[in-house]
Chain A
């Protein structure tokens, strides 16, 4: 299976705290992307990091990528209750096929 692994599977934090989720994968990638999904809804694209990049920022999001370890992390700073959702990493190959991670369910307690 080309599916990635994410940990933790579930994360519960207080509003204002930072949330970190990790993703590991097995194959070579063209880029890695992070998505958010609210329960029963479609995907919302958060951030893309290319295979030759090591870190990227977007607002309260920070993504790192270590291709030697085949791993990535997503950090959400100063979390808000509205950040409550499931977060998926997605590894894109050169054909733009995505293989998703197992997901992290984040709960931010007001």
Chain B
């Protein structure tokens, strides 16, 4: 079946540095990808919608200059957490919508990336 891969699965970075998380659709093309954040013992919150070749659409309250999203190809979207702070430590999950889907609403989730900022 279709697979969405995230890399890295775990990353530790120093406060003030930037870290990039990749989301790849491995065997399908995804014109749209979504980024979610999940704090411990909480639900997933949609951060932004990433469209291939255009700017991402951010949810209210999400700083676009802090969470840079690039969707340069039909199989890759990246989330860069800039000037990371300990409060950015979280579980980040992406999902991808298959561009051509007979079912019409096929969404696949990645395995998530744990970010710890020390």
Contacts and interface: CB of A to CB of B under 8 A. Distances in A.
Contacts of A92: 105, 107
A35 B44 CA distance: 11
B45 interface: yes
A97 B44 contact: no
B43 A101 contact: yes
A43 B111 CA distance: 7
Contacts, number: 52
A100 B45 contact: yes
B107 to A, nearest CB: 6
B24 interface: no
Interface string A56-75: 00000000000000000000
Task: Tell me the dominant secondary structure on chain B's binding face.
Answer: strand
A99 interface: yes
A97 B43 contact: no
Contact of A42 (B34, B45, B49, B109): B109
Interface of B: 32, 34, 36, 42-46, 49, 91, 93, 95, 97, 105, 107, 109-112, 114
